[in-house]
Structures are given as C-alpha cells and as structure tokens.
Amino acid sequence: MKQKMIAKIVMLGTLISSVQSFTNANNATDNTRTDNTKINQRDSAPQELTADEQPSNSSDMNITRRIRQDIMKEKNLSTYAKNVKIITVNGKVTLKGPVRSEQELNAIMNNARIVAGVSNVSNEMSVVTDRK
C-alpha cells in the first residue's frame, strides 16, 4: 500500500514538473500578455453559448474530446489556438476564442469539420495578431 502511494506521489511530481517546464518554455518565448477583457465580456453575455452548457452525453463529449486531441497534436498551433473553447451540443460544435492567424483558424476548423461534419461546425473564433 505504501509503495502504491509513493508511486502516485512520484507520478504527480512528474506531472507537475512537466507542466512547469511547459509553462516556463512558453513564457520564455512570449513575454507579452494579451488583454482578453473584450472577448471575455462577449463570451459572458447571456445569449452566448458556454462550455458549461454542453450536455454530459457521451456522444457530445466524445466529439469535443476528439477535436481537442486533434488540435493538441498540431505542432504549429499557438497556445491561444490550443486553448479555444470547444462546445458541442447535440452534435453541433461551436469554436470560440482568439487565435494568432487565419492559418490557425483554418486548421482548427478543418479538424473540427473532420470530426463533426462540415455543416455541424460554427466558427466564433477571432484572429488576434497584436500583442500588448
């Protein structure tokens, strides 16, 4: 029992170390901060779809998971692009959030369309090129 607990602690330490390394690497390459206040205000409007409105059914969750996995595999996407919101309701996918270029937007849209179908994907992403 004690060995299992030690193994879990070691795994958790490794995970934390990996996350810290990833964060440090990203901070080293991009020391600027972007103000997402306007986007956050838009996304919090009552009529806007949010991730907490996604049903817990396995079909919608599977679509979201597959799209997220495909996005994360893309080596050329920025952290912004990898963090877009993916909201699936009854098989219809809505993508929201900032990306750095039209190429990123198109790559994410293509990944989502492959998984959910061309007519089932709605784009609410925005290209944000300025860094403040």
Q: How confident is the model at residue 67 (pLDDT cuts 50, 70, 90)?
A: very high
Q: Average pLDDT of the chain? A: 77
121: which 2 tokens? Answer: 């994907």
Given the candidates 3.30.70, 3.30.530, 3.40.1350, 3.30.56, the CATH classification of the domain at 34-127 is 3.30.70
In this structure, are residues 31 and 71 in contact, taking their beta carbons and an 8 Å threshold?
A: no
SS (H, E, C) 45-88: CCCCCCHHHCCCCHHHHHHHHHHHHHHHHCCCCCHHHHCCEEEE
Confidence band for 129, pLDDT divided at 50, 70 and 90: confident
Residue 32's pLDDT is what?
45
8 A C-beta contact, residue 96 and residue 114? no
Whole-number pLDDT of residue 121: 97
CA distances in angstroms from 78 to 5, 46, 99, 111, listed in the order given: 36, 29, 7, 15
User: Around Cβ 128, how many Cβ atoms within 10 Å?
Assistant: 19
